[in-house]
Homo-oligomer: A and B are copies of this chain.
Amino acid sequence: MAAAEWWLECDSCGRQTESSELAACANCGEATVIRYAALPQTLASPNTSGIWRYRDWLPIAAQTAPISLGEGETPIVRLDRWAGQIGLRRVYAKLEFAGPTGSFKDRGAAVLVTHCVESGARVIIEDSSGNAGAALAAYAARAGLECKVFAPAATPAAKLHQVRVCGATVVTVAGDREDVAIAAQAAARSGHRGDYYAGHNSNPYFVEGMKSFAFELAEHREAGVVDHVVMPVGGGSLYCGAALGFGQMRQAGLRAAHPRMHLVQAAACMPIVAAFDRHEDRPPPVQPSPSIAGGILIANPPRGRMILRILGESDGSAVAVTEEEILAAQTAVARLEGISMEPTSAAAFAGLARLARSGAVGPDEVVVVPVTGSGLKDQMAVSNARP
């Protein structure tokens, strides 16, 4: 593909922009996405692996060498014992933590850092509660770029350790998650030529990496006919990326599922659920409470309108779960299936249990739930929360 074949566009008002660093539409404030003039006719390229099997679907020039750590192609595991307990028969977990830095964020970091190299960036500036920071620090190291990660002061030690061990600088910021994003953006603006604001909650290149989640499901023999996807959503990069992936496959005329895209938030911070319940098209201001699901405590998601649009178009549900439900799901999946995960990931399983009880997901329908982060990521939170 040549560079002219894609462009940046506001997902909400459709305004186009040339800037590769745009965090939000200058017109309406919503996040931007990448649009393509033409789409490939086949899914995977020969002699490639991981997410780079789908490189013809990415906004990266054909001659650019990917910055890769072998991300993607995560295992898909059928959960018979846990699913049986909630009355379902065809539930699959996609082990997104089984990758280079232990979370789904590797998919986005690989594409974003490759774009940074391509566009001549020298310093990657990111804000993250942990997983995305760890992923960007690793890929920046791999590319030989400098990396600064702005993080909330309450970030689990294991996640900050991951950032530091790869040589990135950690800047802890008091205040909530949005204060951290504002501090990172200010640093990028006041910095030098070559500074690149990579905030994964708004950056469109990061989301492009997530499309591979949908492509991999389409290539899976059983999950290719998936009826429901259930995800934990904070900033919604995986949620939006997967929806873009499914949509582009259908647009290209490929045989692809059109799953209902359900999302789960912690009751402690549920702006999308609140808007969904009130049939509004943008998330209301919320004041988050503390939660063990640190990865989804995003009070003001930059892609809020996009997430709500996808919810509506896919006939998905938005559900909130309590801390107790999150811990119960975490324990149940570990004990019945041997899969340990961070609390943020367990929120999706707690949400699926709710959807099964309400009948929104039927007993014989195919459901896929990503296990977004390793249980090793957040042990402190787990150990403290459980007596």
- Give every chain B residue within 8 A of A340 (Cβ-Cβ): 101, 138, 162, 165-166
- Give every chain B residue within 8 A of A47 (Cβ-Cβ): 221
Can you name the residue of chain B whose Cβ is closest to the Cβ of A161? Answer: B379
Q: Is A157 an interface residue (CB 8 A)?
A: yes
Interfacial residues of chain A within 317-339, with CB under 8 A of chain B in the complex: 330-331, 334-339
Report the bound CA distance from A2 to B96 in whole Å.
36
Q: Which of B70, B162, B330, B383 contacts A95 (CB 8 A)?
A: B70
Report the bound CA distance from A47 to B220 in whole Å.
11
Interfacial residues of chain A within 118-172, with CB under 8 A of chain B in the complex: 137-142, 144, 157-158, 161-162, 165-167
The reply to whether B158 and A379 form a contact with Cβ atoms under 8 Å apart is yes
Most buried by B among A49, A98, A377: A98
Q: How far is the CB of A69 from chain B (nearest CB, A)?
A: 6
- Give every chain B residue within 8 A of A300 (Cβ-Cβ): none
Can you name the residue of chain B whose Cβ is closest to the Cβ of A147? Answer: B338
The reply to whether B50 and A75 form a contact with Cβ atoms under 8 Å apart is yes
Interfacial residues of chain A within 163-187, with CB under 8 A of chain B in the complex: 165-167
Most buried by B among A95, A162, A340, A374: A340
- Give every chain B residue within 8 A of A335 (Cβ-Cβ): 141, 165-167
The reply to whether A137 and B338 form a contact with Cβ atoms under 8 Å apart is yes
- Give every chain B residue within 8 A of A331 (Cβ-Cβ): 165
Q: Which of B70, B140, B383 contacts A75 (CB 8 A)?
A: B70
The reply to whether A162 and B375 form a contact with Cβ atoms under 8 Å apart is yes
Q: Is A68 an interface residue (CB 8 A)?
A: yes
Q: How far is the CB of A274 from chain B (nearest CB, A)?
A: 32
The reply to whether B376 and A158 form a contact with Cβ atoms under 8 Å apart is yes
Closest 7 pairs between A and B when the two form their complex, measured CB to CB: A70-B75, A138-B338, A142-B338, A167-B335, A141-B338, A376-B376, A165-B334
